[in-house]
Amino acid sequence: MVTESVGIGNIMDVEDVKVKSRAQTSVDGIMPKLRIQHVSKSFQSKHGLTYVLEDINLEIQPGEFVCIVGPSGCGKTTLLNIVAGLEKADKGEIWANGSKVNGAGTDRVVIFQEAALFPWLSVVKNVEFGLKLKGIGSRERREMALEYLKMVHLSKFQHAHVHELSGGMKQRVAIARALAMNPEMLLMDEPFSALDAQTRWILHYELQNIWMKTKKTIMFITHNIREAVCLADRIILLSTTPGRIKCEFFVELPRPRDDNDVNVAEYSTRIMKELKSEINKVVKCEMDTDSCVECDIKCTTEEPAKTDIGGGI
């Protein structure tokens, strides 16, 4: 079996697998780390107003790992940017750590799809970037940076230049850079989607270990269901045009999980069924419109997600 060869799979009892689907969660007593309240967002384009997000309500608890999935263009990135404070919602409020979000803040660090490392700085200086802005002294911040580089197994590359790193290494540096800020929350926007399967597999494993070690609250966006099941405590499924929360799933599998684990695969298929109806909706709605070129693009961007799920089961 694949799980044995990769060495991190746990033999799991299928009885443990519980897929719950609840409409609303609110754990009383604990203040949520993040509260998204009635957030709506539209964009003005040439063709008029497009409603991207509509009345999004979501609470994320401290230490929770939440994945947001949904068809391409449903507004996942927009939602994350709003939470990060990089974009403003039309309506609604975001509360993070008990205070209202009003612009970007160091308590919510974003990891983007491309690593966004600064090429003029060496690897370790990149990790130090935010610490320097915080006003931490040079010796202390070097120590901290090295500690986080060690966590992503890149100590050896501390003096390397960014252009000398591979895509996966860059993304690991970006993770170290974000962790070094010691933020309350990590916001990750498809951070591994540009990587090959093996690298992604390694990073899933590393990220889970880091998460278990640091207990950070993580909001993770992906279009890959398998990835979401592998990583998340809870998966939020967004519907499209306009983006709404369609349903949510709780994943209760022991960690660290493996992409290729049977249970992960089984979970994925179930969630995929839900998502498929969404995708069909997207395809249908775009077939109806005249803009066939756009429809082609959207349909093709959807392909990888489908094949990803199909393979390996």
Partner 1 sequence: MSILKRVIFFALLVGLWELLYKCGIWPEYVLPSPVTVCKTLIRGFHDKTFLYGIAISMKRIAIGYGLSIITGIFLGLLIGRIRICEETLGTLVSGLQTLPTICWLPLSLLWFGLNDKAIIFLVYMGAVLSITIATESGVKSVPPLYVRAAKTMGAKGWKLYFEVIIPSSLPHIITGMKQGWAYAWRSLMAGELLIVGLGLGHLLMVGRELNDMSQVIAVMIVIIVIGIIVDRLFFIKVEQRIRERWGLAKG
Ligand X SMILES: Nc1ncnc2c1ncn2[C@@H]1O[C@H](COP(=O)(O)OP(=O)(O)OP(=O)(O)O)[C@@H](O)[C@H]1O
Judged by the rule CB under 6 A, the positions of this chain that interact with ligand X are 43, 45, 52, 72-78, 223
Residue 262 interaction partner, one of Mg ion, partner 1, ligand X, none, beta carbon < 5-8 Å per kind: none
Minimum distance, C-beta of residue 310 to Mg ion, in the bound complex (Å): 22
Q: Taking the complex as a whole, how short is the minimal distance between the CB of residue 79 and ligand X, in angstroms?
A: 7
Write down the least CB distance from residue 86 to partner 1, Å. 5
Distances (CA, A) of 170 to 110, 129, 147, 279, 280: 15, 15, 17, 32, 35
Backbone angles phi, psi at 69, to 5 degrees: -120, 160
List of residues contacting partner 1 (CB under 8 A): 84-86, 104-106, 108-110, 112, 114, 116, 118-121, 129-130, 132-134, 161-163, 177, 181, 187
In the list Mg ion, partner 1, ligand X, none, the entry touching 108 (Cβ below 5 to 8 angstroms by class) is: partner 1
Using CB under 5 A as the binding rule, whether residue 77 contacts Mg ion is answered as: yes
Instruction: Give whichever of 110 and 245 is closer to partner 1, judged by the CB atom.
Output: 110
Minimum CB distance to Mg ion, residue 193 (Å)? 9
Of these partners, Mg ion, partner 1, ligand X, none, which one is at the site of residue 92 (CB under 5 to 8 Å by kind)?
A: none
Q: How far is the CB of 92 from ligand X (least distance, A)?
A: 16
Q: Which does 86 bind (CB under 5 to 8 A by kind): Mg ion, ligand X, partner 1, none?
A: partner 1
**8 Å CB contact between 37 and 245:** no
CB of residue 15 to ligand X, shortest distance in Å: 34
CA-to-CA distance for 310 and 151, rounded, in angstroms?
33
Shortest distance in whole angstroms from residue 112 CB to partner 1: 6
Residue 73 touches which member of partner 1, Mg ion, ligand X, none, C-beta under 5-8 Å by kind: ligand X
Q: Does 193 bind Mg ion (CB under 5 A)?
A: no
Nearest position to ligand X, beta carbon: 77
- Binders of Mg ion: how many residues, by CB under 5 A? 1
Q: 124 touches which of ligand X, Mg ion, partner 1, none (CB within 5 to 8 A by kind)?
A: none
Of the pair 113, 155, the CB lying nearest ligand X is at 113
Q: Which stretch binds Mg ion (CB under 5 A): 26-34, 76-84, 172-180, 288-296?
A: 76-84
β-pairing, 34-45 vs 91-96, is antiparallel
Q: Point out which residues bind Mg ion (CB under 5 A).
A: 77
